[in-house]
Structure 1
């Protein structure tokens, strides 16, 4: 058995164990990243997977006949619904089958009910729970994606100056990532300068950067199906005391949270640490999102680093730490690093320099 096949065999064994704990025998997989995770097929938006007690199938259509044959670690059935469901029906005889309730429409559930012998059971988070802990190969891909993003950011640093247009910076950064080996950007690059920095997800616009502004750039690369994610905020010349204070607060909050990462720590406690720091600067109310999230086959996945989370860090998780402060008419600051939780503590995977002023 090849290493490629053994990796997927281990994942299938793990998901079958999770299904047994959930009280079902089989799983209809419709969440694209989960299809990818269990099969290796890189166009999962147009595919489903069926996990059985002693087998598995990938279902996709004729556009992907050759691609699926080349990529899939499990047998492939080429057809469209309802033929796919008709193929699966006899395989499910006498079995309890679950479906991913957060990734199946009411209409699609109706199709399953019409074609299958037993009533499908709604499940949530079965495969996502397995994806929380990254394998060595997964970490390597994420780290390579981040290295590409860091190198691309270093290339465009000389372009980040007064007179540059936000959209031009985003294009230059995304082009550099592709040229350096990325499959593409992880998401639409955020470039938000001046008062637009108060928009946490401010898409790059035709605004021109000006002296004495802050500019926030949130960027990542995609490689082999895996993502990276990091953010830097830079000063364009001399900035005001209010801007400096915002930046100092966010940097201190980020570094405090980074220092606390280790297995066994509640993600909600990390979020609270960062908010406590910002509170000392009277800026906690300007931190309007969670502290971070997991990164893998999705740029935003578990675990969630938010005040309401009950999740606990484990070695092998890859997470972001990204406190931010956003003030209308003034702007904003966000600093984000990508971090691997290790047995001993953590290892930061992102290495673009942070300003200190």
Structure 2
């Protein structure tokens, strides 16, 4: 039994638990690419799945039909001619009472178009039917993530040699992308964040033409994508000799992250996983300067479940792959974030990222 057969049966288990007769996934221009790939191994920008208790149909257009027939093995593969809304005709033939559709990735327009064309089948928007399956990684998924991480660690080592006064944030971001693409990566897992000086106080920042200056913090948030799976790494370094204040903030963030990592294990709630880092930063007097969650799941997408957050409702399971990324951000001065990736285990976790962090790197 191959991995896609197993995933299909697990999806059917979810349908039975929710008393749904079928499931429809519509990937238009990549709108639900990750879920489609997870279930079928097909990575094209257009594809439709219709799954019932005893049938599974894969539809795509003329651009992808040959590729789909070669790639998708567990589904009946057919070419879809006409507009995507003709999917409703296929569903009507099945004479189902209810069919679920992935709400978060389906446009309101498409939902209403399909619903209006269904005759006796109720279209039910749902969330998480596939995503909950994706939170626990199998060995092949973890291996792919590890490959992406090894490349990202090497890219970080490489980019340190490019940091000097006068080089711009955009130039550094381009050097990261070039390295990843020319050393075996599919591409970037996300657009690299390269922040310098006071801009390091912006957790999600887009590189600009600002040039690195002596004394600057430089924050890299970067990740390669390999075999469709993502890496995610953040490190903060300083150009020249670090000030006492820079060392202090870095030490607090590092301690917060290390406490969070030591605490991680299966069975924790989102809030319990988040608490050690948040408490450490708050105790140091910077509670208001750490606004985001401590981490998130990682896999086919750079942000997926489970969340490590005081607002999250997840419970960690063995096989989750998560980031641990506390930070302190001081507007007008700068910020520090340190991020690693770990696999959750029954009695702890295994950290996958290996880029140096024990001491603030001075370049």
TM-score category (smaller protein): over 0.9
Q: Could you tell me how far 1:103 is from its partner in structure 2?
A: 2.0
Other-structure match for 1:109: 111
Other-structure match for 1:212: 215
CA 1:78/1:283 → structure 2, altered by over 3 Å: closer, same or farther?
same
1:325 aligns to what SS in structure 2? strand
2-structure distance, mates of 1:289, 1:126: 26
1-structure distance, mates of 2:242, 2:16: 59
2:51 aligns to what SS in structure 1? strand
1:272-314 Cα deviation digits (max 9, x unpaired)? 2111100122112100111110001110000011102121111
Question: Is the 2:103–2:126 contact (alpha carbons within 8 Å) kept by the matching residues of 1?
Answer: yes
Q: Could you tell me how far 1:169 is from its partner in structure 2?
A: 1.1
Other-structure match for 2:102: 100
1:304-346 Cα deviation digits (max 9, x unpaired)? 1110212111100000000011111101111000111123421
Moved over 4 A (4+): none
Other-structure match for 1:347: 350
Other-structure match for 1:18: 14
After superposition, residues 1-357 of structure 1 pair within 5 angstroms as 6-30=2-26, 31-43=32-44, 45-73=45-73, 74-79=75-80, 80-91=83-94, 93-116=95-118, 117-357=120-360
Q: Could you tell me how far 1:161 is from its partner in structure 2?
A: 2.5
2-structure distance, mates of 1:156, 1:132: 31
TM-score where L is the length of structure 1: 0.94
1:159 aligns to what SS in structure 2? coil
Long gaps (5+) in structure 2: 27-31
1:47-102 Cα deviation digits (max 9, x unpaired)? 221111112122221111222222223222222423333233212x1342111222
2-structure distance, mates of 1:82, 1:271: 43
Question: Is the 1:250–1:335 contact (alpha carbons within 8 Å) kept by the matching residues of 2?
Answer: yes
2-structure distance, mates of 1:255, 1:181: 31
1-structure distance, mates of 2:315, 2:341: 17
Question: Is the 1:325–1:332 contact (alpha carbons within 8 Å) kept by the matching residues of 2?
Answer: yes
Question: Is the 1:42–1:71 contact (alpha carbons within 8 Å) kept by the matching residues of 2?
Answer: no
Q: Could you tell me how far 1:163 is from its partner in structure 2?
A: 2.4
Which structure: greater helix fraction? 1
TM-score where L is the length of structure 2: 0.93
2-structure distance, mates of 1:158, 1:103: 41
Q: Could you tell me how far 1:355 is from its partner in structure 2?
A: 5.0
1:76 aligns to what SS in structure 2? strand
Question: Is the 1:152–1:180 contact (alpha carbons within 8 Å) kept by the matching residues of 2?
Answer: no
The size of the alignment, in residue pairs, is 351
Other-structure match for 2:29: none
